[in-house]
Chains A and B, each alone.
Chain A
Amino acid sequence: MTETGLTMLNRTADGVARATPEPLARRVRGMSDKGLAWLFISPTILLLLAINIFPLIWAIQLSFTNYRANRPNELVKNVGLSNYQRILNDPDIWIAMQTTAHFVFWTIVLQTLIGFSLAYLIDRKFRGHAFWTTIILVPMMLSPAVVGNFWRFLYQPQIGLFAYAVSFVTGIPPTQIEMLSNVSLAPWSIIIVDTWMWTPYVMLICLAGLRSIPEYIYEAAEVDRASNWRQFWSITLPMALPFIMLAVLFRGIENFKMFDMVNLLTGGGPGSTTEVASITLKRQAFESWRTGYSSAFAIILFVAVFGLANIYVKALNKVKQR
């Protein structure tokens, strides 16, 4: 969900002064401002309480039990912290977390490098750049599941376009390009699709960053006869850095949750090479129906991503304040 990122952007990017409105002391006909405020806000709050908060509390409660959603007749026992203990001591879970971290790392590296470069190039404002920017944005609008599924076809060793194109360029026989079945290539098959889809998003945020740099700074640099190279390292990059970091944050959170593409492209295979945390969670929760156990895992994931994101936001704010 890119939207998570956007809202965070809204919240942290440029430290918009929170509009703390002066209360309009004046009473108006019919309804007081206070009443109106609650009338406007409460439906949203109620919905969020019902669909977000209440289930979350339920999940926390379940995480201390051995409940299984497919055994309605079985006695539910309180098992204390043992679900948490089992998860934290399970080597398979740690492998899944490592796999997730590996994806997050490489997708971020690639998307940031390509995304920033593209933004930098588009910022040269060549003829037709607005049109081409729109074209580049298209992949990120599409459904990762539906389009990701089609990549399975592109990746087929013999008949797939991807294998064919790679073999055309490298000369390796297309039957040997087994993107989805080779243990060392399978993770990359997912990284490639994710990069294809989400580089435009990083590009766009970087572009916003580049455009936010006031021109007079460059003019001053010109006066000082700073080289282009120098200008890039001492003006462009540092000033765009908060935006790049934001993009990294959003993509990091998103890819930590990655499920759709992995589920459709490899299903976690070959073996367990691409089994990310979400896939493990789905197997435990909706195939083995270990509801209590998987609720505990869900809470751990939530705490992990929430904690990491908060640390990161603090770092981001420091960069901005420099």
Chain B
Amino acid sequence: MSLTTAHSVVAPTATSKRIAGTIVVVYALISMVPLLWIFATSFKTPPDSIAYPPKILFQPSVEGYCNLFTTRTRQTPDYINSLGPATTFCDETTRKRNMVIAGPSNFLPRFVNSLIIAFGSTFCAVFLGTLAAYGFSRFKVPLADDLLFFILSTRMMPPIAVAIPIYLMYRELGLSDTALGMILLYTAVNVSLAVWLLKGFIDEIPREYEEAAMIDGYTRLQAFWKTVLPQATTGIAATAIFCLIFAWNEYAFAALLTSGTAQTAPPFIPAIIGEGGQDWPAVAAGTTIFLVPILVFTILLRKQLLRGITFGAVRK
């Protein structure tokens, strides 16, 4: 489906188009304000970020980004002078506030965890999902419907409810707070979605292709590899994006089942605090860095994304 070609109403008039357009554009702009504010706040100094009235124009600063990556402590000028001269740009900025950098923060390892766990689980879910979808699409599997519907229904459980037994199980298996444990969990959550989405895509690929290939002497496996997979790439891409968005954004499981080693960014970012409460420029900086990959994906792959979201709904 493409949003540009579909139609439903007989020739809207120019005026009605203009009014509709204005309302939609106004809504879109308003809904962007929080995101723009996050971006702007990440470049404010801490005092500017909490100024009243809120500052729209300000002198940009990277203090938020410095704070995001470091641990700082406030000390007396005497103590600060007893240390050597500032070595980095952030060091210098920090010292201007009578503080010294004591060490790195944990943001970077958390971000790396997010990358490993999100991409790892997406790969596994799509890989398993493609195989299973093909199996369900092309062969008769006993009780397939009931089985899959029951599995799907476990996704209706609140994540906290799922987390209770998983917590106990992982404790016994030594999987608590490991990347492997999180990848397994996210794969399991995503794979039922992947199977359903991909089964739809594979159903649409005429089976005559494989049969032709098999007549040519390919085995079933080769036929799957050479004819089905290439045609399912759009579907696989759409599915992968969905799995990735889920795994990248997931919070509840990560907050309950990881504590450090394998913790991802979503539970970490709300926990960035300064000397008092949250250090908002640093939080905004972390949020900005965290949102960039998803924003890029959304814009680059919007066609596949739309196809995935409305998938099924538009098939006749």
**Residues of A bordering B, CB below 8 Å:** 1-4, 6-11, 13-14, 16, 18-21, 23-24, 26, 28-31, 33-34, 36-41, 43-45, 47-48, 50-56, 58-59, 62, 69, 114, 118, 121-130, 132-139, 141-147, 149-154, 158-161, 164, 174, 196, 200-201, 204-205, 207-213, 215, 218-219, 222, 236, 243, 246, 253, 256-257, 259-260, 263-264, 277-278, 281-282, 285-286, 291, 294-295, 297-299, 301-302, 305-306, 309
Contact = CB atoms under 8 A, between A and B. Distances in A.
B57 interface: no
B197 A150 contact: no
The 4 residue pairs across chains A and B that have the minimum distance between CB atoms: A298-B161, A126-B21, A55-B165, A145-B251
Interface residues of B, number: 129
B110 to A, nearest CB: 12
B1 A3 contact: no
Given A7-B197, A158-B52, A301 B18 contact: no
A213 B8 contact: yes
A2 to B, nearest CB: 8
Interface in B235-282: 242, 245-246, 248-252, 255-256, 265-267, 269-270, 278, 280
Interface string B126-141: 0011011011111111
Given A21-B139, A124-B17, A150 B287 contact: yes
B53 A277 contact: no
Contacts of B245: 141
A13 B305 CA distance: 18
22 contacts: A14-B315, A16-B312, A59-B161, A118-B24, A121-B20, A126-B17, A126-B20, A129-B21, A132-B25, A132-B28, A136-B31, A143-B291, A145-B269, A146-B287, A149-B270, A159-B50, A215-B8, A218-B9, A264-B270, A278-B252, A306-B156, A309-B156
Nearest to A264: B270
B283 interface: yes
Interface stretch (B67-75, B86-94, B99-107, B182-190): B182-190
What is the predominant secondary structure among interface residues of chain A facing chain B? helix
Given A133-B3, A142-B249, A153 B280 contact: yes
Contact of A259 (B141, B159, B195): B159
Contact of B41 (A24, A153, A201): A153
Contacts of B233: none
Nearest to B132: A44
A31 B287 contact: no
Interface stretch (B58-66, B76-84, B295-303): B295-303
Consensus secondary structure, chain B interface = helix
B221 A204 contact: no
Contact of A31 (B165, B200, B221, B248): B221
Given A7-B197, A153-B280, A212-B314, A30 B166 contact: no
Contact of B8 (A7, A211, A281): A211
Contact of B10 (A174, A222, A305): A222
Contacts of A295: 164-165
B123 interface: no
B141 A41 contact: yes
A51 B157 contact: no
Contacts of B295: 138, 141
Given A149-B270, A259-B160, A21 B32 contact: no
B21 A253 contact: no
Contact of B160 (A135, A201, A285): A285
